[in-house]
């Protein structure tokens, strides 16, 4: 087996598919696996190396798949196991690897083991699989501790016991429909090991592990000294994440992954500060941990410098290359986050070029290659469980993506014809011209974001193939006067103008820029909100 087969992930560009919103082959308004398969050639045409599919396992969809009721099956909404096999087969034919999402911290309240726990009552071995506990207060009317749910409200819900009386409470760090597994119960590890093996056996090239820093909770579930923690992030709850015991799980999973041929890859959603996240990518644990710093950084050269330098330092220390990412299904789309309109789009294009030019691997979220903005989903159509509990909605980044410029209907998302209603409404012409942003509308237009993405990926591939750059390159990050950010690695320089006025283009051969350059006298200049990749 070539070294390449085991280390492809170090420099991979992974395209994230949110199956509900990618392509709907059966016309029911929700995307599905057959739809993904039918559109894999689009992902291959970008030049990506792999696809990460967010959850498609059996699930009542309370958190759109992050509430799993059967880890070993495909939800009928998305198709069948046969559809998964066909997807993997086609992806591999196209040279794309496939990563599957594994959700080990919690399951669905519809999972048969949780249902059995509800029925079995207090003190039963069935309840020991989860975190059930009597409440506090006079008659148990208060939650057992003061932990907040990441989605807002308390992290506990009270159950009605089989005798019809209000009874124990159970822990759910996310929605009430997502009870947390008790990882101190030996059967939990066995169940999730089986799930991991199942998808790897079926041909997945690796897994993305949801809430990888979760799983174990501090023994005794003690109160938080300060329960007023940052919303939508688990990491503030120091009692509910980043416990030492979790590393033993990843050591075991690494042995499982390494036993496959070619070896399989483990990428963790480890939303911790870099020095803690680094501990998850020790040589015998996960291959990579998602880098969240740029997802959170505003459009500001100093903020980017701090974020990028910290991540690069971490990679140098751990030997695990950075997974650069500026968009995913949980955050506001970059063009909107960076200010909206033309300016926001220009910045998002610069950020896209940046993540592809930095050393390591990169994640591109579906629609990012089209420059899609966040959609203002009408309140009555919002579906995110976080919206109901805390007023935060992630729906605007999850709207079905446009394939055709047709003036009505679903812009090619759904095979259901003009009457088919997608699960989230796509914008009408008056809100944002979704059709003008479609794949077909951008195809072949050299100024489009789609063609910029392709050009950047072609260039990246060529520079790697020619040995000009390597995924493990050391890089230095600095900010220059006027908000110019520069990242220098062995053969190339990335420059992003994050300031308000044009600056002279740094020396070197221009390889690609995210937008047109301007002139300053005789020389070329980098306008605001533009990135350039130069050969040195
Ligand atoms: C992280 C996922 O990306 C998010 O969409 C989900 O709601 C939570 N984990 C809970 O599973």
Ligand 1 geometric centre to CA of 232 (Å): 10
pLDDT tens for 176-201 read 999 999 999 999 999 999 999 999 99
| pLDDT attached to residue 433 | 84
Within a domain: 492? yes
Within a domain: 31? yes
Residues 372 and 500 occupy one common structural domain? no
Ligand 1 geometric centre to CA of 65 (Å): 9
Integer Cα distance of 390 and 388 in angstroms: 6
Residue nearest to atom 8 of ligand 1 (CA): 66
Q: Average pLDDT, whole number, for the chain?
A: 95
Q: Is the pLDDT of residue 227 over 80?
A: yes
Integer Cα distance of 328 and 345 in angstroms: 16
Residues 127 and 101 occupy one common structural domain? no
CATH number, domain of 527, equals 2.60.40
Residues 37-53, mean pLDDT to the nearest whole number:
98
Residues 365 and 235 occupy one common structural domain? yes
Ligand 1 geometric centre to CA of 536 (Å): 41
Ligand 1 geometric centre to CA of 380 (Å): 22
Residue nearest to atom 3 of ligand 1 (CA): 330
CATH number, domain of 245, equals 3.20.20.80
Give the atom of ligand 1 at the shortest distance from the alpha carbon of 211: 9
| pLDDT attached to residue 3 | 58
Residues 201 and 305 occupy one common structural domain? yes
Within a domain: 139? yes
Best mutation site among 17, 68, 210, 289 for ligand 1 pocket (most ligand atoms within 8 Å of CB): 210
Residue nearest to atom 6 of ligand 1 (CA): 66
Residues 51-63, mean pLDDT to the nearest whole number:
98
Residues with CB under 6 A from ligand 1: 63, 66, 103, 174, 210-211, 269, 329-330
Q: How many domains does the chain have?
A: 3
Ligand 1 geometric centre to CA of 211 (Å): 7
* Model confidence band, residue 222 (pLDDT cutoffs 50, 70, 90): very high
Residue nearest to atom 10 of ligand 1 (CA): 66
Ligand 1 geometric centre to CA of 210 (Å): 7
Give the atom of ligand 1 at the shortest distance from the alpha carbon of 103: 11
Residues 165 and 198 occupy one common structural domain? no
Model confidence pTM above 0.85? yes
Give the atom of ligand 1 at the shortest distance from the alpha carbon of 269: 1
Look up residue 497 and give its two tokens: 């103008």
Residues 40 and 99 occupy one common structural domain? yes
Report the percentage of the chain scoring pLDDT > 70.
98
Which residues 6+ apart lie within 8 Å of 139 measured at CB?
none
Integer Cα distance of 492 and 319 in angstroms: 21
* Domain extent at residue 487: 472-535
Residues 65 and 155 occupy one common structural domain? no
Integer Cα distance of 150 and 66 in angstroms: 14
Structural domain ending residue among the three candidates 145, 171, 197: 171
Look up residue 159 and give its two tokens: 């159950």
Burial of residue 197 (number of CB atoms within 10 Å: 0-12, 13-18, 19+): middle
Look up residue 105 and give its two tokens: 């911290």
**Residue 348 vs residue 231, higher pLDDT:** 348
Residues 350 and 481 occupy one common structural domain? no
Ligand 1 geometric centre to CA of 512 (Å): 35
pLDDT tens for 100-151 read 999 999 999 999 999 999 999 999 999 999 999 999 999 999 999 999 999 9
| pLDDT attached to residue 155 | 97
Residues 79-91, mean pLDDT to the nearest whole number:
98
Residue nearest to atom 11 of ligand 1 (CA): 66
CATH number, domain of 156, equals 3.90.400.10
DSSP 22-36: T-BSSSSSS--HHHH
Instruction: Classify 93 as helix, strand or coil.
Output: helix
Residues 193 and 291 occupy one common structural domain? yes
Within a domain: 400? no
Ligand 1 geometric centre to CA of 158 (Å): 23
Residues 145 and 46 occupy one common structural domain? no
Within a domain: 352? yes
Residues 32 and 60 occupy one common structural domain? yes
Residue nearest to atom 5 of ligand 1 (CA): 330
pLDDT tens for 493-521 read 999 999 999 999 999 999 999 999 999 99
Q: Is the pLDDT of residue 429 over 70?
A: no
| pLDDT attached to residue 432 | 67
pLDDT tens for 356-370 read 999 999 999 999 999
Give the atom of ligand 1 at the shortest distance from the alpha carbon of 66: 11
Residues 144-164, mean pLDDT to the nearest whole number:
96
Within a domain: 245? yes
Query: Percent helix, strand, coil in the chain (nearest 5)?
Result: 30, 20, 50
| pLDDT attached to residue 1 | 45
Residues 312-336, mean pLDDT to the nearest whole number:
96
Give the atom of ligand 1 at the shortest distance from the alpha carbon of 151: 7
Structural domain ending residue among the three candidates 420, 442, 464: 442
Give the atom of ligand 1 at the shortest distance from the alpha carbon of 105: 11
Residues 73-98, mean pLDDT to the nearest whole number:
98
- Rounded (5°) CA angle 268-273-277: 35
Within a domain: 183? no
Residues 62 and 129 occupy one common structural domain? no
Within a domain: 455? no
Beta bridge partners of 365: 16
Torsion sign (Cα): 366, 68, 88, 288? positive
Residue nearest to atom 2 of ligand 1 (CA): 210
Ligand 1 geometric centre to CA of 517 (Å): 39
């Amino acid at each position: 087996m070539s070294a390449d087969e085991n280390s492809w992930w170090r420099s991979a560009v992974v395209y994230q598919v949110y199956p509900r919103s990618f392509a709907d082959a059966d016309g029911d308004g929700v995307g599905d696996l057959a739809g993904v398969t039918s559109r894999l050639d689009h992902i291959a045409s970008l030049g990506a190396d792999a696809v990460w599919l967010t959850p498609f396992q059996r699930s009542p969809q309370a958190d759109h798949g992050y509430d799993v009721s059967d880890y070993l099956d495909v939800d009928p909404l998305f198709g069948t196991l046969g559809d998964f096999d066909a997807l993997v087969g086609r992806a591999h034919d196209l040279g794309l690897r496939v990563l599957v999402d594994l959700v080990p911290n919690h399951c669905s309240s519809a999972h048969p083991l949780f249902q059995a726990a509800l029925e079995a009552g207090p003190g039963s071995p069935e309840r020991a699989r989860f975190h059930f506990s009597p409440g506090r207060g006079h008659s148990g009317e208060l939650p057992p501790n003061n932990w907040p749910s990441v989605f807002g409200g308390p992290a506990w819900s009270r159950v009605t016991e089989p005798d019809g009386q209000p009874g124990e409470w159970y822990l759910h760090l996310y929605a009430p429909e997502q009870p947390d597994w008790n990882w101190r119960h030996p059967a939990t590890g066995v169940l999730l090991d089986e799930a991991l093996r199942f998808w790897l056996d079926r041909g997945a090239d690796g897994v993305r592990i949801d809430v990888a820093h979760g799983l174990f909770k501090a023994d005794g579930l003690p109160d938080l000294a300060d329960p007023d923690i940052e919303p939508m992030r688990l990491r503030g709850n120091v009692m509910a994440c980043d416990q030492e015991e979790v590393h033993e799980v990843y050591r075991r999973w690494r042995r499982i992954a390494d036993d496959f041929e070619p070896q399989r890859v483990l990428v963790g959603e480890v939303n911790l500060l870099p020095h803690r996240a680094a501990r998850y990518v020790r040589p015998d644990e996960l291959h990579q941990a998602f880098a969240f710093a740029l997802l959170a950084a505003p459009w500001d050269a100093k903020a980017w410098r701090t974020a990028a330098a910290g991540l690069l330092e971490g990679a140098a220390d751990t030997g695990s290359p950075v997974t650069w990412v500026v968009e995913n299904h949980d955050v506001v789309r970059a063009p909107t986050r960076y200010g909206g309109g033309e300016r926001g789009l220009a910045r998002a294009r610069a950020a896209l070029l940046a993540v592809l030019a930095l050393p390591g691997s990169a994640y591109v979220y579906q629609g990012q290659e089209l420059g899609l903005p966040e959609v203002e989903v009408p309140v009555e159509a919002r579906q995110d469980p976080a919206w109901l509990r805390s007023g935060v909605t992630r729906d605007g980044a999850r709207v079905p993506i446009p394939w055709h410029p047709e003036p009505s209907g679903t812009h090619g998302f759904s095979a259901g014809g003009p009457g088919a209603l997608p699960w989230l409404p796509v914008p009408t012409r008056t809100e944002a011209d979704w059709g003008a942003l479609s794949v077909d509308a951008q195809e072949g237009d050299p100024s489009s974001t789609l063609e910029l993405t392709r050009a950047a990926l072609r260039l990246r591939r060529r520079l790697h193939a020619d040995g000009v750059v390597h995924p493990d390159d050391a890089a230095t990050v600095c900010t220059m006067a006027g908000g110019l950010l520069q990242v220098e690695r062995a053969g190339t320089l990335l420059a992003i103008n994050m300031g308000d006025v044009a600056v002279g283009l740094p020396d070197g051969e221009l390889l690609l820029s995210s937008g047109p350059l301007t002139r300053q006298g005789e020389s070329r200049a980098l306008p605001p909100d533009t990135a350039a990749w130069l050969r040195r």
